[in-house]
Each structure stands twice: as C-alpha cells, then as structure tokens.
Copies of this chain bind each other. A is one copy, B any other.
Amino acid sequence: MKISCDTCVVRNRAICSVLPDTELLELNRIGRRRHVRRGEALSLDGYEELLCANVLTGVVKLSLQTRDGRQQIVSVAYPSDFIGYPFTQDTGKHGEDIYTVEALTDAEVCIYTREAFAEFAETNSRLKQELLRRTTTELERARRWMLLLGRKSARERVASLLIEISNRRANLGCTALGASPMHFTLLLSRQQMADILGLTVETVSRQLGQLVNDGLIAFPSVREVEILDWPGLQQAADAE
C-alpha cells in the first residue's frame, strides 16, 4: 500500500526530512508503508534480512540471536528512527547469528529493500550525510552499550537502562507518549529488558525490586516506572 509522505507523522524528523519534495516523491515510490502488530516480525516478502525502514509510529527492536536461541537486543528504534544497513555487502547473517526486527508496540513503518534504498541514497548527498550522522550516533550508542555489557554489574545495568529510556524519551519530546521523564510507561517486558542488558528475567526482576527497596524508583503498575531519586539512580548506574 502506497501512501503519500504528506500524511507522514514524522515527515519533519525522519531521515526523509532532508529531502526536497521532488526527491521525496521518488523515495516514496520505492517504499511501502506497513502496519505491524506488537510482537510481529518485520519482513518484506522474501527480503527478510535485507531491508531498511523508517519507524513512523510505535517502537521496534532489532536483535541478534545465536542458533541455540540466546537473544541480544542491539537497538531499539523510536518514531523517526531509521533501521537497516543500506551500505554493506553483508548478507545479514554472520556465522550462525541471525538478525530479527520485531515490533515492541503496534507500529507503522516505511520499508525499503536495502538494494533500492542504497541505490537511491547513492545519488543523494544530503541523504547520505544524514544517514552518516545517524549511523555514527548509533555506533556511539552501541559502543557505550558494549561497556555496559562487558563491565557493569546487574544493578548498574538495570539502572542504566532506566536512565537511557528516560533520556531518549526526553530527546524525542515524548510528552505525547505520556507524562514526564520522571514517570513513564515501559514498553519493554522484563524478558526484553533482560535481552537488552545481557541478563536473565529473574535477575532483572530482582534488581528492579532492589531499586524500589532503595527508594530510587517506584512501580505504580508493573509497566509504569516512576523515578523518585534521579541522582541516586544515576549513581546506581555508574558505580557501587
């Protein structure tokens, strides 16, 4: 189903925002807008591992997993975020590790085949520039997360995740998604938090409980977080 970019809710924030109308029209031609339900995997008829996408609404996770089912979430994409590796010779598989893109909430995305998107971007310097800026940001984020995964304790990891989520919401101006940076709805299940943090569900649950006991956060409901002591939480994320 093709829809004009005029109706796009992230027209001014997504990667497309650097394009003038004429070029946007061309990009629109090679893209497909798609609804995905919560939990549904993103695919494009036979191009499962070779696609790119803009997230319009909702939240989408990108994860890698081993053959025997261990999963690591490597990226969480919010509205206006771009996912995929348009410029790489890669097949999407590395050894036995497999990429998966799955919606954390009902979501709307704009999908391109890697090939088509790359071909288009090839000729568009501004798009390349913007893609480069975003890829760099993602690389920094990934590397910072490597420090967390390699060197931080369970308590530090859980605290860090809450801070990261709160910060990203703030950067996105997510008052629309509800409330302040000090009080928000978790879009992740405990299992998904564990898959981001390289922990088990049980450990995440216990550490969250500990943070509650320490008076740093509260859970009005199981999916709602309230940060009671921001400096304290930040301290818990760094050391101790």
Contact = CB atoms under 8 A, between A and B. Distances in A.
Contacts of A151: 66, 70-72, 198
State how many copies of this chain the complex holds.
2
Interface string A20-64: 000000000000000000000000000000000000000000101
Contact of A142 (B97, B128, B142, B195): B142
Most buried by B among A65, A128, A131, A135: A135
A85 B67 CA distance: 33
A72 B146 CA distance: 7
A64 B151 CA distance: 10
Nearest to A143: B74
Interface stretch (A86-94, A103-111, A176-184, A202-210): A86-94
Contacts of A64: 143-144, 146-147
Interface of A: 62, 64-68, 70-72, 74-75, 85-88, 90, 94-97, 122, 125, 128-129, 131-133, 135-140, 142-147, 149-152, 195, 197-198, 234, 237-239
A139 B85 contact: yes
Contact of A140 (B90, B128, B144): B90
Contacts of A238: 66-67, 95-96
A142 to B, nearest CB: 4
A144 B97 contact: yes
Contact of A97 (B88, B96, B147): B147
